[in-house]
Amino acid sequence: MEILQRIAKESTDAEAMLNGLNLKKLKASREDLVKSLTGVYKPHFITFLGHHLKACDFYTSQMLAYETEIEGLLKKLVPEPVEAKTQKVRKNRYHFNLKDYLHALVGVDLTEIAGLEENTVLTILSVTGLDVSKWPTADHFASWLNLSARPKKTDGKVFGHQRFTNNPATQALRMAAQTMWQHKGILRQLYRRLSASKWSKKAIKAVARRLAVILYNMVRKKTVYDPKLVALDQEQVKAKKISRLKKEAEKLG
């Protein structure tokens, strides 16, 4: 960004652009950077770059203003003071300690669930609220999120199961499930197994439903996330495989 800002100020000399910059964090060497920055800088492109940088600064300031508004609302809901964020702010993260605010509101740490980041949890809770007892069971909750099987029937015949929704909580859970392939644990195994047999679209919906059930139980029962409870289904999968192999063996005598 500092190099781009220098170019926007019509600094077209490659050596001058790099003077005073900390280049240790970059993979490219200084010689490679000089070669890549040496070229023809047309005035109208420099003007475009300057306008885009101003727009970037404007949207960044707007995002910080919204974060200030969100933090003000959370302070009203959480009477006890929350420690300021000391870690470096990563990409797509809030500048204040959102994780502690959510923990104080819910009573349990929902970010312990694989795939659920603090911004994802905030999106879900802003739609569902903190009182999930309005859904009698986790199945009702998953059905409301349109993550349960809902067959489309006409004249008693099933013509499909896919239904679409604009619910932000559903979209957040589906996006969390979509990133499950790079996580370690039981949910990753579930996603890969389903995506191999039933393709990724059904795997995303199934894992999103599993995440919704875990979140519902944690919020309503105030229980800590326990990966062992999720792992219980692996025994069922193993039992089904053994049963299927026994049937195949009986057919072959």
In the chain, where the domains are located: 2-59, 108-251
Q: What is the pLDDT of residues 196-235, one digit of tens each?
A: 777 888 888 888 898 999 999 999 998 888 777 666 566 7
For 21, counting Cβ atoms within 10 Å of its Cβ (0-12 exposed, 13-18 middle, 19+ buried), the class is middle
Q: Which two tokens stand for residue 134?
A: 């309005």
Is the separation of the CB atoms in 181 and 125 below 8 Å? no
The residues pairing with 154 across neighbouring beta strands, listed in sequence order, are 157
| Range list of β-strands (E), the chain | 153-154, 157-158
CA 126/CA 106 separation, integer angstroms: 12
Q: What is the pLDDT of residues 45-59, one digit of tens each?
A: 999 999 999 999 999
Is the pLDDT reported for residue 66 higher than 90? yes
User: What pTM was estimated for this model as a whole?
Assistant: 0.75
Q: What value does the CA radius of gyration of the chain take, rounded to a whole number of Å? A: 25
